[in-house]
Amino acid sequence: MAEFTLDLNDDQKQIRDWLHGFAKDVMRPAAAEWDEREETPWPIIQEAAKVGIYSLDFYAQQFFDPTGLGIPMAMEELFWGDAGIALSIVGTGLAAVGVLANGTEEQIGTWIPQMYGDADDVKVAAFCSSEPDAGSDVASLRTRAVYDEAKDEWVLNGTKTWATNGGIANVHVVVAVVDPELGSKGHASFIVPPNTPGLSQGQKFKKHGIRASHTAEVVLEDVRVPGSCLLGGKEKLDERLARAREKARKDGERVKNAAMATFEASRPAVGAMAVGTARAAYEVALDYARTRVQFGRPIIDNQGVAFQLADMRTRIDAARLLVWRASWMATTGKPFTSAEGSMSKLYASEVAKQVTAQAIQILGGNGFTREYPVERMHRDAAIYTIFEGTSEIQRLVIARTLSGMPIR
């Protein structure tokens, strides 16, 4: 088991510097353009594919880093570059992880390459879980999957929302209800192959921030997929449902708690994204404060500005420490006895909003314009307190974990 450390090893430093260079030289110069266009930045994704960043191999290497710091380090650097473009680059990973976590070796080998394509013909994938009436409340999903035994096909019906790459993806991974009586334990995940009849893009959302990332509804109308597209296979699903029914009879609410624990382990990565955006805004504000002269001296000489920068840097470092601790705990199998995953996501998300707002204040009127990037960073930061569980949900999880109350 890797010991917790704040020192990156030489390999990690090399990867960090490589990612930082890509973020600085490729992502940042294009950030304002793609934010204005509100379109998927295909040329940037292609560049990321050419150098090896947009690939399953890269994310697998970071995921299996024994220190747990590979993923948060990568997320921080990419989102330091630009949150919207970064989400377009990493969004496919959500679907890929869904297949890796639940699929058979054959499914992994068949579908994940189709999610990424190659450097000459990049593809994206979409993970479709949230619904109009089921965001934080995952037990309330309504999209149904019914098995047609005669044809060995699953029939999917429902509407998904807030799907990154939804409708434009080559491959969609859809979470659907197969047994409504079991709540979140009655869910299963399905591959919807390219060009499957019945799947269509619904509303494309015009967003406040992360506008270079495509977000849309996905409508499923009698979508038929082969039995082989059920991740993990029918036999494994039947066994899992049987165990869940028995456990539900014995354990009651603890069935739901197990599902919540799964989400808890993924939240530090979102915290790392928030740290990257906060750090980017802080650096712009620091540079501005050093060079902006008012009343004959740089504004950083004014205590009101200097103290703001001190608070910004302190909060960013504290957020990173919480993220790294939670990431290390998740990788080394240490239980989140105090909801440390939710703590890291909650604090880092709130810090990103605070720091980007302070950056605008330090830049004054300039910060309120699109001539400076902190305006965009502030808009982007708003998403972190919303997706992967709102800040309110994080506080609920933390409070109930500390009190011993069931997490519903």
Cβ proximity of 168 and 201 under 8 Å = yes
Which one is catalytic: 131, 264, 340, 388?
388
User: What pLDDT does 263 receive?
Assistant: 54
Task: Count other Cβ atoms within 10 Å, centred on residue 11.
Answer: 11
- Rounded to whole angstroms, how far apart are CA atoms 72 and 272? 5
- Rounded to whole angstroms, how far apart are CA atoms 129 and 183? 14
Q: Which of 228, 238, 239 is nearest to 109 (CA)?
A: 228
- Cβ neighbours for 311, distance < 8 A, ≥ 6 positions apart: 358
Q: pTM higher than 0.85, yes or no?
A: yes
User: What pLDDT does 398 receive?
Assistant: 92
Work out whether strand 171-177 and strand 199-204 pair parallel, antiparallel, or are unpaired. Answer: unpaired
In order along its 408 residues, the chain shows pLDDT tens digits of 677 777 899 999 999 999 999 999 999 999 999 999 999 999 999 999 999 999 988 988 998 899 999 999 999 999 999 999 999 999 999 899 889 888 999 999 999 999 999 999 999 999 999 899 876 666 678 999 999 999 999 999 999 999 999 999 999 999 999 998 888 788 999 999 999 999 999 999 999 999 999 999 999 999 999 999 999 999 999 888 888 787 766 654 443 433 344 455 578 999 999 999 999 999 999 999 999 999 999 999 999 999 999 999 999 999 999 999 999 999 988 988 899 999 999 999 999 999 999 999 999 999 999 999 999 999 999 999 998 889 998 999 899 999 887 665
Q: Which two tokens stand for residue 269?
A: 């990565």
- Rounded to whole angstroms, how far apart are CA atoms 91 and 48? 13
Cβ proximity of 182 and 244 under 8 Å = yes
User: What pLDDT does 90 receive?
Assistant: 95
User: What pLDDT does 283 receive?
Assistant: 98
Q: Catalytic residue at 246?
A: no
